[in-house]
Amino acid sequence: MVAKGGTNLYNSPMREFEFTFPTRILFARDAFRKVGEIASPLGSRFLLVTGKSFARKQGLVDEIVKQLSPAKVVHFNGITPNPKVEEVERGTELARREGADAVIALGGGSVMDASKFIAALAVSEGNPWDYATGKRKFSASLPVITVPTVPASGSEADPFAVLSNPRVGEKRGLYSPHFWPKVAVWDPLLTHTLPSSVLKDGVVDIISHAIEGYISGQEAKLQNRFTEGLVKTVMEAWEELSRGNKEVLDALCWASTLAISPFLSAGRGGHFVLHGIEHALSGLYDHITHGSGLAALLVPYLRTVAKKRPQRVSSLTKALFDLYHWETGLGELEEWMKKWGLHKTLKELGVKDLHTVEEKAWQTSSNRLESVGLSRADLRRILEEAYD
């Protein structure tokens, strides 16, 4: 096939790839009612991990306990946004003490990420940070069932987890083949009572996940078109949701899973460059949610990387806004984010010291930045533009 203008769209081979997608996914309204049925074959003692209060207030904790009766369910509600080493340590201690056969993660990305660490540490030696920093590698894990309540991270069906260490002011992401959940139970109805602020963060996270490989990976037309369609659908869904149409939450939930899945990245590769910068940011400023940090950084990052990879960014803005010139297209993206309540600045998020953020981001993610041709000066420019 030849594109308009005579350019061959398929003049580069895909990268060699191999992947396994071991997570079973049950996606349905009212799927939550089947958590007990799915978990029961895994044992008779379960650690249920949640955030501080949402799951309890919604009656979800009591419902899972009821579904799993007479099995023992121990509830650990100690996970906060940007999950911490100390929280994971307490959850791990509880899982070991109670002899948990499996871990059920009921919540958003932070809960699911923490649960992966807890499940692996329950059958491993050492402390969480040694694993997060790559000093040690997991070799086993208890089975994990994820029950996501927020369309955002994609952690419900991926082999990644993020952990923060306030003692050193860092936040690290880790891949482990032992982090793949055994089952993901996706019930979009669980997202219908979420506050707008949480959904906003989720939308930006989904878009950012999809865009990362599109910008930083090699050219792969099939995967790029998947990405363009997904991002455009998420943007349209957010507009509809902002008007009060909750039916679109089904699409946002599934987009959450797909955006970080190998179905978009296989054959294209790439790095999570933008996420590396944001992890440095929220590792230092724990009050900043992941989605808010990404919202402040997204357009400044794209503007800077466009000078290194103009074709990639121009293709994105052409797909989203029918504007091929990337400067005009990114201006349109920024205006869209402002219009629909997604735009943030580092100043309004309370960032005081850009230099320290720059140092930490370069220390932990210089290899990612350099993979797309960005220097430390470019990193500084991104942060300065994101500030106000």
Angstrom distance (rounded) from CA 47 to CA 93: 11
- The predicted-structure confidence for 303-357, as pLDDT tens digits, reads as follows 999 999 999 999 999 999 999 999 999 999 999 999 999 999 999 999 999 999 9
pLDDT level of residue 8 (50, 70, 90 thresholds): low
pLDDT level of residue 12 (50, 70, 90 thresholds): confident
Return the bridge partners of 48, or none. 75, 104
What percentage of the chain has pLDDT greater than the value 70?
97
pLDDT level of residue 3 (50, 70, 90 thresholds): very low
* pLDDT(83) > 50: yes
pLDDT of residue 142: 98
Nearest to 159 by CA among 181, 190, 139: 181
Handedness of CA 318, 242, 60, 173 (dihedral sign): positive
CB atoms within 10 A of CB 179: 22
Angstrom distance (rounded) from CA 44 to CA 23: 21
Q: How far apart are the first and last CA of the chain?
A: 45
pLDDT of residue 106: 98
Where do the domains of the chain lie, and which CATH numbers do they carry?
24-191 (3.40.50.1970), 196-387 (1.20.1090.10)
- The predicted-structure confidence for 355-364, as pLDDT tens digits, reads as follows 999 999 999 9
Angstrom distance (rounded) from CA 229 to CA 59: 36
In Å, how far are 191, 212, 305, 307 from 362, measured between CA atoms?
A: 36, 18, 16, 19
Helices 290-306 and 273-284: angle between axes, nearest 10 degrees: 140
Nearest to 307 by CA among 213, 354, 377, 357: 377
- The predicted-structure confidence for 206-251, as pLDDT tens digits, reads as follows 999 999 999 999 989 999 999 999 999 999 999 999 999 999 999 9
Q: Is 278 exposed, middle or buried (0-12, 13-18, 19+ CB in 10 A)?
A: buried
Contact 25, 257 (CB under 8 A): yes
pLDDT of residue 11: 63
Q: Which region holds residue 156: left if phi is over 0, alpha if psi is between -120 and 50, else beta?
A: alpha
